[in-house]
Amino acid sequence: MSGTAAFADSRAPDIEFWFDFGSNYSYLSVMRIEALAAARGVRVRWRPFLLGPIFRDLGFDNSPFVLQKEKGAYVWKDMERQCRKYGIALTRPSIFPRAALLATRVALPCADREWIAAYCREIMQLNFVHDRDIGSMDVVSEALGKLDLSAREIIAEAQSDANKQRLREQTEMAAARGIFGAPTFFVGSEMFWGNDRLDDALDFCASIAARE
């Protein structure tokens, strides 16, 4: 049973997981969070959003990892180390950051479904292991098909005008809450930024639950 399904009980403590499918450090967290949360009895609230508009509002026309050459070189070396540490495969995408609008539109209305964690891992692996275009209809359909889901129905819902507006609102909410990068985690109003703070955020969440 997945961690999402296992902790559907409303009494389980919540952590909000804000992520972008084009974000390299979000990749590390997506691949790890379900198992780590389940081990602590924490329920993950999946919060997909678009990091691009956040960067533009902050005055960047691209990822800082692209705009700052030295930082970018460091980050990919760091990704190699982190992936070795966690036992996660990595192929540096030929396009970075890769647009993932359709993949994100699919994730948004499905965020509470029991297969969301598996879908997010599949999309991330398509991007950061197989170097596939996760913004394309074919690739997103392939990811859903691998999970034995009806790609046609799910994508039709994702492409509705109502869901497109919902994603804009989700991204605006991220900005309003002070999010400036991904991944970001919230436990109540307490914010933790970065894959290297995932364990801290989960421990904080579990500690609050233990005191209640």
Rounded-to-integer distance, Cα 109 and Cα 92, Å: 29
Dihedral of the alpha carbons of 142, 147, 152, 157, in degrees to the nearest 10: -120
Is the pTM for the entire model greater than 0.95? no
- 30-51: pLDDT as tens digits: 999 999 999 999 999 999 999 9
CATH 3.40.30.10 is right for the domain spanning 13-211? yes
CB 51 within 8 A of CB 22: yes
3-state SS assignment for residue 103 = helix
Rounded-to-integer distance, Cα 103 and Cα 108, Å: 9
Domain ranges of the chain: 13-211
CB 143 within 8 A of CB 117: no
- 97-153: pLDDT as tens digits: 999 999 999 999 999 999 999 999 999 999 999 999 999 999 999 999 999 999 999
